[in-house]
Amino acid sequence: MLLTIDLAVLLAVIIVLRVRRRVQARSRSDQWVTVAIVLVFGVLIAPTAFGRGILDVANQVAQGISRSGSP
pLDDT for res 17: 85
- Give me the amino acid identity at 31: Q
The stretch 16-33 carries a mean pLDDT of 78
Residue 1 has pLDDT above 60, yes or no: no
**Total residue count of the chain as it appears in this document:** 71
Q: How confident is the model at residue 52 (pLDDT cuts 50, 70, 90)?
A: confident
Q: What is the dihedral of CA 6, 8, 10, 11, to 10 degrees?
A: 170
Q: How confident is the model at residue 69 (pLDDT cuts 50, 70, 90)?
A: low
DSSP string, the chain: -HHHHHHHHHHHHHHHHHHTS-STT--HHHHHHHHHHHHHHHHHHTTSHHHHHHHHHHHHHHHHHHHHH--
pLDDT for res 68: 76
